[in-house]
Structure 1
Amino acid sequence: ELLSMVACTVNSYSRLVPGFWAPTTATWGVENRTTALRVIPGSEKSQRVEYRIAAADINPYIALSAAIGSGLWGIENKVEPGEMVVGNAYEQEFPEDVTLPATLFEAAGRLRNSEAAKSLFGEEFVTHYAQSREWEEREFRKAITDWELQRYFEII
């Protein structure tokens, strides 16, 4: 529900596809680079959890708020993380509510409808932020990419 806060541009979704070593589902696994949360075992001082969803183009303040806030919300509301994913998550079937949005517009819609987000960040912030991400995708849709020009210029 908070994906648009850690993947905030249309380009962020170009990498959230099978085969790019980025997650496509809200899942977890041990040493699994195809899940959103990768548990890395080790000694008492070196074990950790890698948060694999955030994109390089994040706003670090918003992304960190989303990561910490969602973790705390999950603890406070006793949300179970689901079964550990073993093997390649790209080759497995998951319920729709675990599948990550494929576009920024879809992610913004999930944020807008998220009671957890409203509880964590307030309805005013959630509404404004979702609107800004929907606007961003609408602006992107107006642009003609180099790929489109190269692909279709000769046939139009």
Structure 2
Amino acid sequence: MKILLLDPPLIAPKVVWLASIGQVRLGAHLHGEWCIGVGERNTVLSKPEDMVPLLPLLEMDRVRFYGHLYKVAQDHAELAGIVQSFPEALLLRFSFESSVSDYWPMKAIDWIKAAGKVTPDVRESLSTMLNKSWVPQRLRQRVEMLVKHSE
């Protein structure tokens, strides 16, 4: 699915839209919460299933995505905290906990490697994934390596 980083971002009354993923917009409320919008309906990103439309972000280079967030934060003082508040851990955990193939977990691992760190809640999701019977050997080895090096 095509991901478009909005530069300049679309500024609405309460939300600044930063990216579009197909028909879904990704944005930040001016008071710090992240949300997605489809048509006139906006949903605050607060639970794992909210992350479904954001999985294609994992296909984008993490450095490029965060570079966009940093640029927007520099250009718009009211969004100074957006980089730190992006729910990356929720996105990564969802990719590990909900997948039934290795595609999204492998993309999520690429993001983790680009970040250079594994948070405790993501490490827990990685460890849990090792117990799933569908996990292919290639993915299992990458997960084991991440878990081992994050302790």
**TM-score (norm. length: structure 2):** 0.27
Task: Pick the structure with greater CA Rg.
Answer: 1
Which of the two has greater strand per residue?
A: 2
Q: Which structure's relative contact order is higher, taking Cα pairs within 8 Å and 6+ residues apart?
A: 1
TM-score (ref. length: structure 1)? 0.27
